[in-house]
Structure 1
Amino acid sequence: MNIEQFRDYCLSKKGVTESLPFDEHTLVFKVMGKMWALCSLRRQPTQVNLKCDPERSVELREEFDGLIIPGYHMSKMHWNTVLIEDTIPPKLIIELIDLSYKLVVSKLTKKLQAELTAL
Structure 2
Amino acid sequence: MNYNWLDEYCTTKKGVEKDYKIEWDATRYRINGKMFAMCGGDKEGKPIITMKLEPDFGELLREKYEEIIPGYYMSKRHWNSLYLEGNVPDKVLKKMLDQAYKLVLESLSKKVQKEIVEKENDLIRD
TM-score of the pair, normalised by structure 1: 0.89
Q: Is the 8 A contact 2:3 2:90 kept in 1?
A: no
- Runs of 4+ in structure 1 off by over 4 angstroms are none
RMSD, aligned CA: 1.7
Alignment correspondent of 1:71: 71
C-alpha distance in 2 between matches for 1:3 and 1:41: 15
C-alpha distance in 2 between matches for 1:85 and 1:57: 19
Q: Is the 8 A contact 2:10 2:16 kept in 1?
A: yes
Alignment correspondent of 2:15: 15
Deviation of residue 21 (structure 1)? 2.9
Alignment correspondent of 2:123: none
Within a 5 Å distance, the mapping from 1:54-65 to structure 2 comes to: 54-65=55-66
Within a 5 Å distance, the mapping from 1:1-119 to structure 2 comes to: 2=2, 4-23=4-23, 25-40=25-40, 43-44=45-46, 46-65=47-66, 67-119=67-119
Percent of aligned positions with the same letter in both sequences? Answer: 36
| 1:9 aligned partner, one-letter code | Y
Structure with larger Rg: 2
Deviation of residue 3 (structure 1)? 5.2
TM-score of the pair, normalised by structure 2: 0.84
Q: 1:111 to 1:3 in 2, by over 3 A?
A: same
Q: 1:61 to 1:41 in 2, by over 3 A?
A: closer
Q: Is the 8 A contact 1:84 1:93 kept in 2?
A: no
Q: Give a deviation string over 1:71-116, Cα, whole Å, max 9, x none.
A: 0111100000011331101111111110100010111012211111
